[in-house]
């Protein structure tokens, strides 16, 4: 009697191992556990291309590429700088946090890639075009006003339409060369985009239009009071209407985006979810067609696993380590880096000291968020650590340099110079008022800095550390309760910074930046 029981147990264990193995080898939602909001996606051949939003960062409008809808790599940006104005340059007390460029739209037509966006900061609409999306160059077309959350359709008859707006959606026809709007073509397309959800519903924005089998499909989002972000789809046989709308998906608040097909005929919706201080994170949701309507989800739900290849991780495609060592012909900064607002390129270098990022001070700043040249990368979930080594030998009195978690309620760990004496310090801005929590005298010029972030279950805690030898770490200051604040409208980022409060002209050298998807488990 024991032998059958033993065999049954073996079969059960074998089945369990096979099931676990199958789960491990499948893609997991969210596809990217990092701030990649407002996605717009296309497929060209067997490759997928996606644009996203990074607002006040420079360069702007990141372009990503994937061969499987799961593993993405940043391959370019639509622009280096949006505009040379005070708000983008962090000059004369001005900034454009939470603004800059918002939701973009990516298209491909007759061998040309198009990425369009709009900016509240300049009140303009921008269209960038290139034949080589990875190497460029990009041609820029711009006109006023800024068409909010617009989507562009290159129709089969050669006409080019733009749809935009909030709740009341409007349509215009663009000139053939995309340099502006054809006069007399503006009209209301849909009076109330939220109508399928009900009355007194927020949003009704995030438009993305698609043409499938001769029919037009317009995706938007609604947000019922007391409810969640919801996908609304309108359908029409003609671009002029009439349009019929219905609720297409409502689960976990996963919404805003569109649809894409695979080379073998499968369909998926790409959407994102607000997920605390890590930001707005992308999901891929299976869909199929039913009576010419998109049916999104697995039994109406977001599946935890997908019949797609497993993720290889967000390193190095979305974030990455940097030793600041450059070979001849390599770009000065890899694409994972973005500056907080436009940089002053005369104040940084990766060549003046081989293997180091040198950050110089060129002005006097009283506030960190108004200081220029903070170099950033996304944080990633569920947990992550950012680590650097700072050489403070050439900092001047009143200088502050180090590592930060950047959002309105930021945290910093670094070195400051006070009356010629070096200190390791930790600052918290959790009350919207920068507060030095701890300061420790430093008798050497080199110091190692680390920040650990825990986004599990939206705990949203950051902890700060320093080390004198890179091996033994000591906590400094307090834990920071991170918050996603709309004033910045962005998930937390790691940042390297150096600014002067008294005497410009000094510089700080960073030996490397390392990012991992682990923490020391001291954060609970």
Please compute the mean of the pLDDT values over residues 243-270 and round it to a whole number.
97
Contact 336, 377 (CB under 8 A): yes
DSSP letter string over 120-173? TTTTEEEEEEES-TTT-PPEEEEESS--TT-EEEE-TTS-EEEEE-SSSEEEEE
Predicted confidence (pLDDT) at residue 177 exceeds the cutoff of 70 = yes
* End-to-end Cα separation, the chain, in angstroms: 48
Q: Give yes or no for a contact between 407 and 483, defined as CB atoms under 8 angstroms apart.
A: yes
Q: Can you give the pLDDT at residue 366?
A: 86
Give the residue-averaged pLDDT of 336-357. 98
Cβ atoms of 458 and 275 closer than 8 Å: yes
Count of residues in the chain:
524
Mean pLDDT in residue range 343-349: 98
Q: Which of 203, 193, 254 is nearest to 224 (CA)?
A: 203
**pLDDT, averaged across the chain:** 95
Q: What is the pLDDT of residue 3?
A: 57
Contact 177, 9 (CB under 8 A): no
38: alpha, beta or left? (left if phi > 0; alpha if psi -120 to 50):
left
The whole-number pLDDT of residue 10 equals 55
How far, rounded to the nearest angstrom, does the alpha carbon of residue 294 sit from its chain's CA centroid? 27
10 Å CB burial of residue 295 (0-12, 13-18, 19+) is middle
Q: What is the 3-state secondary structure (H, E, C) of 458-470?
A: HCCEEEEEEECCC
Per-residue pLDDT at 9: 54
What's the angle, vertex CA 197, arms to CA 193 and CA 199, rounded to 5?
85
Cα–Cα distance, 321 to 515 (Å, whole number):
6
| pTM of this prediction exceeds 0.85 | yes
Residues 368-392: tens digit of each pLDDT: 999 999 999 999 999 999 999 999 9
Give the E-state strand segments of 446-516 in sequence order: 446-454, 461-467, 474-475, 480-481, 493-500, 507-516
- pLDDT > 70 in the chain, percent: 95
Nearest to 39 by CA among 259, 288, 262, 342: 259
- The answer to whether the Cα torsion of 332, 335, 337, 339 is positive or negative is positive
The DSSP output letter for 277 is G
DSSP character for 395?
P
pLDDT for the residue 431: 87
Residue 4's pLDDT is: 56
Mean pLDDT across the stretch 17-43? 83
For residue 208, the cross-strand partners are 219
The predicted structure's pLDDT at residue 363: 95
- pLDDT greater than 60 at residue 434: yes
* C-beta separation of 161 from 171 below 8 A: yes
Helix H segments across 375-494? none
Higher-scoring residue by pLDDT: 22, 428: 428
Which residue pairs from 73-76 have beta carbons closer than 8 angstroms and sit at least 24 positions apart in sequence?
Answer: 73/316, 73/317, 73/318, 74/317, 74/318, 74/335, 74/336, 75/133, 75/134, 75/335, 76/133, 76/134, 76/135, 76/136, 76/335
What pLDDT shows up at residue 524? 42
Domains of the chain (ranges; CATH) run 36-309 (2.115.10.20), 338-516 (2.60.120.200)
């Amino acid at each position: 009697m024991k032998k059958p029981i033993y065999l049954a147990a073996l079969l059960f264990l074998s089945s369990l191992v096979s099931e676990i193995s199958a789960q491990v080898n499948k893609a997991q939602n969210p596809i990217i556990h990092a701030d990649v909001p407002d996605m717009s996606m296309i497929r060209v051949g067997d490759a997928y291309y996606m644009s996203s939003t990074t607002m006040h960062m420079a360069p702007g409008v990141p372009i990503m590429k994937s061969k499987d809808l799961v593993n993405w790599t940043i391959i370019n940006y639509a622009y280096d700088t949006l505009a040379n104005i005070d708000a983008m340059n962090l000059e004369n007390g001005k900034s454009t946090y939470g603004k800059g460029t918002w939701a973009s739209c990516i298209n491909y037509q007759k061998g040309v890639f198009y990425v369009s966006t709009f900016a509240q900061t300049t009140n303009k609409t921008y269209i960038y075009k290139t034949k080589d999306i990875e190497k460029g160059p990009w041609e820029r077309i711009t006109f006023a006003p800024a068409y909010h959350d617009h989507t562009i359709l290159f129709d089969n008859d050669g006409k080019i339409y733009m749809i935009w707006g909030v709740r009341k959606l409007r349509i215009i026809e663009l000139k053939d060369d995309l340099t502006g709007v054809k006069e007399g073509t503006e009209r209301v397309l849909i009076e109330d985009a939220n109508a399928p959800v009900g009355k007194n519903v927020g949003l009704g924005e995030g438009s993305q239009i698609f043409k499938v089998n001769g029919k037009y499909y317009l995706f938007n989002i609604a947000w019922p009071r007391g409810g969640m972000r919801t996908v609304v789809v309108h359908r029409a046989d003609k671009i002029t209407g009439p349009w019929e709308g219905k609720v297409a998906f409502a689960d976990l608040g996963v919404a805003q985006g569109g649809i894409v097909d695979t080379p073998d005929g499968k369909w998926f919706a790409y959407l994102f979810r607000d997920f605390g201080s890590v930001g707005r994170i992308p999901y891929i949701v299976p869909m199929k067609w039913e009576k010419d309507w998109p049916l999104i989800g697995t039994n109406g739900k977001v599946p935890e696993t997908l019949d797609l290849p497993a993720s290889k991780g967000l390193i190095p495609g979305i974030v990455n380590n940097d030793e600041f060592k450059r070979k001849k012909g390599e770009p000065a900064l890899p694409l994972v880096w973005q500056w907080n607002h436009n940089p002053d390129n005369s104040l940084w270098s990766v060549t003046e000291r081989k293997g180091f990022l040198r950050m110089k001070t060129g002005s006097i700043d009283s506030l960190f968020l108004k200081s220029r040249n903070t170099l950033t990368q996304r944080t990633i979930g569920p947990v992550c650590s950012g680590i650097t080594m700072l050489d403070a030998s050439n900092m001047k009195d009143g200088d502050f340099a180090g590592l930060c978690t950047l959002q309105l309620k930021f945290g910093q760990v670094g070195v400051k110079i006070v009356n010629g004496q070096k200190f390791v310090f930790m600052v918290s801005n959790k009350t919207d008022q920068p507060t030095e929590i701890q300061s420790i005298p430093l008798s050497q010029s080199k110091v190692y800095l680390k920040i650990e972030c825990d986004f599990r279950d939206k705990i949203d805690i950051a902890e700060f550390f320093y080390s004198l030898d890179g091996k033994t770490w000591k906590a400094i200051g307090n834990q920071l309760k991170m918050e996603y604040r709309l004033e910045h409208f962005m998930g937390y980022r790691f940042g390297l910074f150096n600014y002067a409060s008294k005497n410009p002209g000094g510089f700080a050298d960073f030996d490397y930046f390392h990012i991992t998807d682990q923490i020391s488990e001291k954060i609970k």
